[in-house]
Structure 1
Amino acid sequence: MAKVDHKKKLLIVEDSVINQQLLVMILKDDYETVTANNGREALDILCAKDGHLISAVILDIVMPVMDGFEVLRRMRENKALAQIPVIVASGGDVEGDNKEIQALSQGANDYVRKPYKPDIIKHRVANAIYLRETASFINTVQHDSLTGLYSKEYFYNQAEEIMQRDINQDYDIICCDIERFKLVNDLYGAKVGDDLLNACADIFRDRSDNYIICGRTGPDIFAFLLKHIDDYSNFEFSSLDSDLAELGINLNIQLRHGIYMVEDKELPVSIMCDRACIAASSIKGIYGVSYKIYDEKMRQKTLDEQFIISNMKRALKNGQFKVHFQPKYSLKTERIVSAEALVRWEDPDRGLIFPGDFISLFERNGFITDLDIYVWDTCCKRIRQWLDDGNKIVPVSVNVSRTDIYDPNLDKILLSLIRKYDLSPEYLGLEITESAYTHDSDQLIGAIWKLKRLGFTIEMDDFGTGYSSLNMLAELPIDVLKLDIRFMQSQHHKNSRNILSFIVSLAKLMDLTIVAEGTETIEQVELLRNLNCDVAQGFYFARPMEIKAFEDLLRKQAETYSADDETVEEITEEQNCQIDSAILEMKTRTELDCVTGLLNRVEVENRIQNFFYENNEPTGVFIVADIDGFKNINGVYGHEAGDALLKILGHMLSELFTETAVIGRIGGDEFAVQIPYIPENADLESKLNRLCSPINYDGMDKPIHFSAGVCVTPDDGTDFQTLYDNARMALLRAKYNGKGNYLKYETDMVPPIDEYMENRISGILDSATEAVFVSDAATGEIIYISEQPHAAIY
């Protein structure tokens, strides 16, 4: 391929056609030329979209429309055009000398006389372009292209020179970080972010008396060198935030300043700035604190964090993370009833590293998920071993971090571990930290409900340390409430005891088990017993211990209390059969609906969820069906008639959809069907048409209609709740179109009436003390009848 020759572009502004052509002839071999006949045409070219590509201008002074002096003046007023070198041209007389002086004084870079001499023209154009490019390069190296402040490298260079120049003067480096700057870019766009940076630069320039030099050393970081100040308490840090507030960005922009007091001038300036930045980062998110002075503790913390980050993956791979169990004791019997799994890092060089040193860092960098899965797997493996060995089993609680909660695959990960070791989910308690609720409560609630439906025990850890505790109790399916020790640290104070008593009483009313963690003294134990608390955990009973030590403790407890246990008679084979039959009957009762004999809602949901977990690429059809006007039927004809229709609909579904075992009544008159594949469209529609055909029932003067809503997997959902919501939406739309209809779900469907308002209206009507009828104005059909007439009729 031929080499592309990129020539620089020259603008020739000359009213004489002959001179224009002459200049083009002289320069065309070395440059791309553009011509203009007067100053106005020249400015139009320079201000056009590609005007910045002009490398130099040859400008005649005397021209019609607009002369060369006016062109020079306007170019100097424009920041971009002022960077383009201009070579002015005029005659060789005395008047030409005066024009040369005037042009140079107005910013022209060079001057040539007419008639044009080729060699002189070429050299002066080349020199003008070279000098401007060199100056531009130096300016680019020295100054930040956005703010005009010193660039990072030039700031480092100048700061070092200044400090070395006066070795007796003490200096400080300040680094200023814009808190939540990334959020400004995300919410308002890069241009607003750039405007904010320029506004900061302008503020710093206005206050240049406070420092020696200033530079932009990072995307949102500014650095300053100034003479040492002993006390920064009166420095104008907070007023900078006030100036930025006037920009109108509704994010409460705040600057965080880190100060490094230079002790060793031989230290690279880059490291000085790094230390100042560490100090600034340490106060992010702390209200009312605008600066922090760097000290060695910060440096050590940074080194420790770097060690942790560099070694965490290797440590997990090499088994350096050890799972310990801390027993939980019943306050009534003082026996171990469960345990909490805690993790310790045993580094061969540093020794024991406690969770407080690495957990928060892992939560920030995402490694906490890898560590948590390791802990969960270790616990499940140990519980499986207890079962295989015939040992006493106690549930083990594991921590589920905020990062885990927002992982859409959390339920699948936990379920896969339960299946891997063939365990019941009840053996694994999931501890959720209360603070997780304050970030994205909707997502948290959805994730926790998924885990609860799978059978896991949900424990709320650190209750009382957050801000939404009561809301959380109402919205989350919590089984166990863990009280934070800080409620008991000031137990002698009346208010603290009252608060603790209130929380325990509230938990009892909600049928929650209460665990008091951090119990360390007999006084705390007695207080908890008096308050009727269930379980305690803390150093008073036992510290966290290796799993083997916990097993020994559990075994010793079993031996100690075995003498007190009642003698268990040997069970005969006949009794075994009776027990098995009773268990089977109980299991059947828990799975089936008592009216129709089909699956109940819980079992339908469990089977559908299991279907999704067992199939990597599931497909299928989900149907929700109900009886049109069922509430009216119950009201007019009685509940026996209603139950009979429920059985009829259940029987129809079982006969129509023989290809699936997942058919159930999921509430009221609603039924669900899941087909584990997508059948032929004609076959499915045929069955739905038969389902929705009217039927006659003895004693009723009008036909009975069934309606249905349909959705498919994976397009319309891959979990029970999503499929149910979408199929029910289609069902409501079908009923809105008239009785005995079915519809397939579409993404743009909206409910025909707000369900909340419908429920409220029904509630208001039901609470009426007089008889209330609601009928269809068009057909005269009764669509609602209150309880008063029911009582009169029956």
Structure 2
Amino acid sequence: MKQEAIPLPDDAAMAVERLERLVQREREGRLQAEAIAERGLRELYESQVRLALLQRITDCANRSNDFSEAIGEVLKEICEHMNWAFGTAYRVEGGGAAVSCDAWYTAEPAKLFPLVEATRDRTFPRGEGLPGRVLRDGHPHWIDETELAAHACRRIAAACCGVRSACGFPVLIGDEIVCVLEFFSHTSMLDKDAILLTVTQAATQLARVIERERARATLLHDALHDAMTGLPNRTLLDERSRAAFERLPESREGLAVLVIDLDGFKAINDKYGHHAGDIVLIETARRFDSVITARMGGRRRGDQASWRATLARVGGDEFVVVLDALPDPAIAMDLSGALIDALKAPILVADEYVNVGLSIGIAHSGTSYCSVEQLRQDADLAMYEAKSGGHGGVVTFSESLGNERRNRMALESELRDAIREKQFTLYYQPIFALGKAGANTGKLRGFEALIRWNHPDRGLVEPGRFIPAAEAGGLIVFIGDWVLRQACNAMARLHAEMTAQGLDPGELPYISINIAPQQFLQPTFSSHVQRVLLETGVPPELVRLEVTEGVAIIDPDQTRQVLEQVRSWGVKTSLDDFGTGYSSLSYLQNLPFDTLKIDRSFIASMDDPKSRKIIRAILDLASNLNLSVVAEGIETMEQGASLREMGCEYGQGYHLGRPLDEASAFALVWPEGTASAA
């Protein structure tokens, strides 16, 4: 007999129902907790995998300073992590286009070959293709299957490879896009947040590699280039020069070195300051580079015999050009002419236009050279020979020039020893009043101090044999200062002795001292003269400084200022060798001279009517300007007589009196030593 269920009381039924709901909620909570735990574990695993990926990418970035080494490994890691079919990269330089750097990765090269080939060597301008869009907008871009099939520039290659989606990411240094990463996948890219997080962090590590690569390139560039002009410096020039010399054929022909020095650069620095000098150097380098680039651009492309050029600034105002693989030596001379022409147009400096000239020395390689350093030295010698002419130009080295220049350098070395060992002595040539017409005698008025070199082996050396070398080597300043002090000392002794003997002060002779342009233009010249006057005690009015017209040409303003200053102390001034240089009446009008000295070349050719007319004109000019005149180089009685008849006041020369040592010359001032005049 079937037993019937006994209905529960209402309270019991409700209790059971509550228990069932609790069990259900507990079951659902347990399932939810298990799902959360599973998702957390999955996210933790994915995070650990991503962190491991980024750690590998970071390690790769840390051990590499070369982008080309790091990018391949980074593309491989990302593609394998994301299970993407193909990854590649593009470099961006100067904000221009995205250029393929031929760095790519795919696990299936054969299958992805069409897409790889369609991507290699590609350049994407801003806005074109996926890399161009990333470059234009500065943020990641995604392309799905529809857009890839309809618009992508590589859609045919992508379709052949079964690619369904693509993405591109910028690699940034600050706000600058330096690289674009591009990836393709066989499936749709759905989890964009995870992709974005992973790839952007990898891109940050790549940016660090590029930053170090740039810093290294900058350091290397700075070490090998001149900071002011950007040209190669001496270090890079030496490296390229030696490599070029080693490439020479057995004949050692085909290499030329041009050493270039700017004419007048120091005057620009002195007048306008070093900032102006920097402007001149930068503009000069720009013009030189433009000329050389244009000349090299005219070569036939692919011609193995085409010449190469390296333009460098090696210091100061000196540039060097090394020409390599020259098919014709005449190219060096033609290029030199073009460089000179390039500087004919003035350069704007401090709101004024200044002109700069060039002195260029050329040396060509040959079997006599064992190193490129020897070639450079000979080009340097040729440059100094060009510069010694006074007006720049181009000189090609020759063996005779080398011998001459080396002899001059040896002479300069000996002169330095002579200065140090005090081997110089002064001779004094008397200057006489020529007297009135018909008279045979004149009065001794002064002396010109003339230097001699008491050489330990060659004996007494005339100034004409060593003064040019002293001027070229910059030693004339030291020699000139020594002459000034010695002459003033000697004359102070003579004056003291004459005064002690009770002679008329009006009979005291003056001393005439030659001042070299380099000496005169020293900023401290006038203060040096004043110091010598005070220390020696010589009467300033009996000191006469002789300068040439070349001084006025170099800097008329400074010349006038110095002359006025020394004349304010009583010192007299003479314009030496008048008529042989840049003679201009403006100098006589604007510069405070007391005396003109007629050059000996006019006196020697007095038989020529033209020379007599020039002398006559000089005497008339001096008379009108209230200047005294001294004629140099009077060698005969007839010359002296003619000058006296023409009204020349003073004269000197071998006929009147040869240069003498101090004792012999000063003996002429005493009555028993009175000399004869023409």
Q: Which TM class, normalised by the smaller chain length?
A: 0.5 to 0.7
Q: Deviations over 1:625-653 (max 9, x none)?
A: xxxxxxxxxxxxxxxxxxxxxxxxxxxxx
What is the CA RMSD across the aligned residues, in angstroms? 5.2
Cα 1:233–1:28 change in 2 (3 A) is: closer
CA contact (8 A) 2:102 2:120 kept: no
The one of 542, 548, 551 equivalent to 2:666 is 551
Q: Deviations over 1:486-542 (max 9, x none)?
A: 333443343332221121022123332210112223343233122110111123333
Return the alpha-carbon distance in structure 2 between the equivalents of residues 74 and 377 of structure 1: 70
Cα 1:534–1:276 change in 2 (3 A) is: same
The one of 153, 157, 171 equivalent to 2:242 is 157
1:277 maps to what in 2? 380
Return the alpha-carbon distance in structure 2 between the equivalents of residues 421 and 248 of structure 1: 47
Q: Deviations over 1:386-431 (max 9, x none)?
A: 2343477421111233334344544443333333333321222111
Where do 5+ consecutive residues of structure 2 fail to align? 1-45, 81-85, 124-178, 186-194, 270-275, 436-440
The one of 292, 298, 311 equivalent to 1:216 is 311
User: What are the residue-to-residue correspondences of 1:461-476 with 2, within 5 Å?
Assistant: 461-467=576-582, 469-476=584-591
Shift of 1:254: 6.2
Q: Are residues 1:478 and 2:614 paired?
A: no
1:198 maps to what in 2? 289
2:515 maps to what in 1? 400
CA contact (8 A) 1:172 1:259 kept: no
Return the alpha-carbon distance in structure 2 between the equivalents of residues 109 and 440 of structure 1: 61
1:346 maps to what in 2? 454
Where do 5+ consecutive residues of structure 1 fail to align? 1-15, 35-50, 63-67, 562-794
Cα 1:112–1:192 change in 2 (3 A) is: same
Q: Deviations over 1:137-181 (max 9, x none)?
A: 999999999568994234433443343xx4357556342526449
Q: Deviations over 1:13-62 (max 9, x none)?
A: xxx9999865532233564699xxxxxxxxxxxxxxxx999996556899
Shift of 1:341: 0.5
Shift of 1:318: 1.9
Matched residue type, 1:372: G
Matched residue type, 2:309: C
Please give the secondary structure, in 1, of the residue aligned with 2:606: coil
Return the alpha-carbon distance in structure 2 between the equivalents of residues 469 and 27 of structure 1: 80
1:381 maps to what in 2? 489
CA contact (8 A) 1:88 1:111 kept: no
CA contact (8 A) 2:254 2:329 kept: no
Return the alpha-carbon distance in structure 1 between the equivalents of residues 390 and 455 of structure 2: 36
Return the alpha-carbon distance in structure 2 between the equivalents of residues 32 and 469 of structure 1: 74
CA contact (8 A) 2:261 2:383 kept: no
Shift of 1:109: 14
Please give the secondary structure, in 2, of the residue aligned with 1:377: helix
1:637 maps to what in 2? none
The one of 562, 568, 580 equivalent to 1:447 is 562
Return the alpha-carbon distance in structure 1 between the equivalents of residues 483 and 96 of structure 2: 65
Matched residue type, 2:559: L
Please give the secondary structure, in 1, of the residue aligned with 2:654: coil
Cα 1:135–1:372 change in 2 (3 A) is: closer
Cα 1:497–1:298 change in 2 (3 A) is: same
Shift of 1:480: 1.9
Cα 1:297–1:428 change in 2 (3 A) is: farther
The one of 172, 186, 189 equivalent to 2:277 is 186
Matched residue type, 1:507: A
Matched residue type, 2:256: I
Matched residue type, 1:192: E
Return the alpha-carbon distance in structure 2 between the equivalents of residues 129 and 100 of structure 1: 28
Q: Are residues 1:323 and 2:426 paired?
A: yes
Return the alpha-carbon distance in structure 1 between the equivalents of residues 433 and 385 of structure 2: 42
User: What are the residue-to-residue correspondences of 1:228-239 with 2, within 5 Å?
Assistant: 238-239=337-338
Shift of 1:96: 4.3
Return the alpha-carbon distance in structure 1 between the equivalents of residues 264 and 222 of structure 2: 24
1:498 maps to what in 2? 613
Cα 1:388–1:53 change in 2 (3 A) is: farther
Cα 1:286–1:546 change in 2 (3 A) is: closer
User: What are the residue-to-residue correspondences of 1:99-178 with 2, within 5 Å?
Assistant: 99-106=115-122, 146=230, 151-163=236-248, 166-168=249-251, 170=253, 173-175=256-258, 177=260
2:478 maps to what in 1? 370
Return the alpha-carbon distance in structure 1 between the equivalents of residues 109 and 245 of structure 2: 53
Question: So what's the TM-score if we normalise by structure 2?
Answer: 0.62
Return the alpha-carbon distance in structure 1 between the equivalents of residues 582 and 47 of structure 2: 81
Please give the secondary structure, in 2, of the residue aligned with 1:28: helix
Please give the secondary structure, in 1, of the residue aligned with 2:90: helix
Matched residue type, 1:167: E
Matched residue type, 1:26: R
Cα 1:255–1:478 change in 2 (3 A) is: closer
Please give the secondary structure, in 1, of the residue aligned with 2:570: coil
Shift of 1:344: 1.9
Return the alpha-carbon distance in structure 1 between the equivalents of residues 530 and 218 of structure 2: 63
Matched residue type, 2:479: L
The one of 427, 430, 440 equivalent to 2:542 is 427
Please give the secondary structure, in 2, of the residue aligned with 1:403: helix
Shift of 1:69: 9.6
Please give the secondary structure, in 2, of the residue aligned with 1:342: strand
Q: Are residues 1:520 and 2:635 paired?
A: yes
Structure with higher RCO (Cα < 8 A, 6+ apart): 2
CA contact (8 A) 1:435 1:466 kept: yes
2:531 maps to what in 1? 416
Cα 1:251–1:208 change in 2 (3 A) is: farther
Aligned sequence identity (%): 20
Matched residue type, 1:72: Y
Matched residue type, 1:173: A
CA contact (8 A) 2:288 2:342 kept: no
User: What are the residue-to-residue correspondences of 1:254-293 with 2, within 5 Å?
Assistant: 257-284=360-387, 291-293=394-396
Q: Deviations over 1:335-372 (max 9, x none)?
A: 43211001122232454444345435545665433322
Return the alpha-carbon distance in structure 2 between the equivalents of residues 460 and 491 of structure 1: 21
Please give the secondary structure, in 2, of the residue aligned with 1:545: coil
The one of 442, 451, 457 equivalent to 2:572 is 457
Which protein shows a greater Rg? Answer: 2
Question: So what's the TM-score if we normalise by structure 1?
Answer: 0.54
Cα 1:373–1:316 change in 2 (3 A) is: same
1:686 maps to what in 2? none
Please give the secondary structure, in 1, of the residue aligned with 2:386: coil
Return the alpha-carbon distance in structure 2 between the equivalents of residues 87 and 477 of structure 1: 78
1:616 maps to what in 2? none
1:575 maps to what in 2? none
Return the alpha-carbon distance in structure 1 between the equivalents of residues 331 and 117 of structure 2: 53
Shift of 1:268: 1.7
Cα 1:61–1:193 change in 2 (3 A) is: farther
Cα 1:480–1:299 change in 2 (3 A) is: same
CA contact (8 A) 1:88 1:112 kept: no
CA contact (8 A) 1:437 1:468 kept: no
Aligned residue pairs, count? 515
Q: Are residues 1:25 and 2:55 paired?
A: yes
User: What are the residue-to-residue correspondences of 1:285-304 with 2, within 5 Å?
Assistant: 291-304=394-407
Q: Deviations over 1:248-280 (max 9, x none)?
A: 877667665534354534432221232123223
